Amino acid sequence: MNFHRKNIIVTGGLGFIGSNLAIRLVELGARVTIVDPRIQGCGGNLYNIAPVASEVGIVPHSIGETGNLLTILRSCDLIFNLAGEISHIHSMVLPERDLQINTLDQMRFLQACVDCAPGIRILYAGTRQVYGVPEYLPVDEQHPVNPVDFNGVHKYAATQYHLMLSRTGHLDAAVLRLTNVYGPRIALDVPCQGFLSTYLRKALTGQTLEIFGDGRQLRDPVYVDDVVEAMVRVAAADRLRSRSYNVGGPEPLSMADVAAATARAAGAPEPVFRDFPEERKGIDIGSYYTDSTLLREHFDWRARTRFDEGVALTLAYCREHLPHYLDPNDPNPTCKLTHKSARERAGAPAAV
């Protein structure tokens, strides 16, 4: 597919990955409409699209509010579906919120796509979290699915909606399961979004980075430009040879190495080791890194940005634009989303 003058929807396009993708699509000549209600805790930020603000349309509604999307869906050529909650901790604190955002809204949106644009190509941003604790490394697309939190369960359900509707011929979807993504426009003021945003926030404000556990757990961070390139290549394919692709970084790194490289690039203090917080113990997956062979074989894609290079680029962007991503008076923001007990969620008064 040639993106020039194509009508493209990017759900979640005010978020970190979605905004980088939207900017790239505009550069490729596409007519981009962003659907993003800027739900609290999901990282939507109008400043993210500042370079193309006059060239994109914005629909400030949830993808579950399908009545507001029918017109743009009927004229759409391609959809990048990046809407959703990504926080594993948020999903454990407020599972019904995660269920609403990551499953019910997704189901309603896809049903609207089937009605208004049958057979349309949709690229869905999935997550490596669906695999849970790896049974082997690197993790390929055949790895068993065994998520350790509600976010992984709900994201997997949304994945299956896309794949089921493709098997039945109603849509033409592909799912990219992303590992830990970092880069310019990453949300710094949204707690519980993952270790990379926390490391970057602390490094930028001169704080000491904390490594939980012994620091030997492996990850394969992937730079956002490499992720966007993968998305564009898969979405542009005339025919999909697979419906699911893992997207990982160029090499596995220990958490201690990631922390040290981030602190070193920012001139921050040397990281320290801490015990795992209680809320993280049950959802820690140990070591994980990705086998992206299928994506390489089908699309000649590979992650080209090494972490030391990517983290330097990320820090440079964040420093230049920091007031738009972090309140200098609140360098350690706390989560504003609060836990509700099962009784409260059911409408019963909380026990005293």
Report the C-alpha dihedral over residues 159, 284, 191, 306, rounded to 10 degrees: -80
Q: Is 294 left (phi over 0), alpha (psi -120 to 50) or beta?
A: alpha
CB neighbour class for 276 (10 Å; exposed up to 12, middle 13-18, buried from 19) = exposed
| Segments making up each domain of the chain, as ranges | 7-324
Q: Please tell me the predicted confidence (pLDDT) of residue 240.
A: 97
CB distance 56 to 22 below 8 Å: yes
pLDDT one digit per residue (tens) for the chain, 352 residues: 899 999 999 999 999 999 999 999 999 999 999 999 999 888 999 999 999 999 999 999 999 999 999 999 999 999 999 999 988 888 899 999 999 999 999 999 999 999 999 999 999 999 999 999 999 999 999 999 999 999 999 999 999 999 999 999 999 999 999 999 999 999 999 877 789 999 999 999 999 999 999 999 999 999 999 999 999 999 999 999 999 999 999 999 999 999 999 999 999 999 999 987 766 656 689 999 999 999 999 999 999 999 999 999 999 999 999 999 998 788 888 776 655 544 344 443 333 2
Smallest CA-to-CA distance from 15 within 192, 221, 187 is with: 187
d(CA 72, CA 255): 43
C-alpha to C-alpha distances, 105 to 38, 76, 79, 309, 328, nearest whole angstrom: 14, 19, 15, 37, 35
Query: Could you tell me which residues are beta bridge partners of residue 218?
Result: 254
The fold for domain 7-324 equals Rossmann fold (3.40.50)
Q: Model-level pTM?
A: 0.94
* Cis peptide bond N-terminal to 323, omega within 30: no
User: Could you tell me if residue 248 is left (phi over 0), alpha (psi between -120 and 50 degrees) or otherwise beta?
Assistant: beta
DSSP H or E stretch at residue 21: helix 16-27
Q: Residue 276 phi/psi, 5° resolution?
A: -60, 135
Spell out the residues 6+ positions from residue 18 whose beta carbon is closer than 8 angstroms to its own. 10, 11, 12, 34, 36, 80, 82
Does residue 271 contact residue 76 with C-beta atoms inside 8 Å?
Answer: no
Residue 7 sits at φ, ψ, to 5 deg, of -85, 115
pLDDT at 281: 59
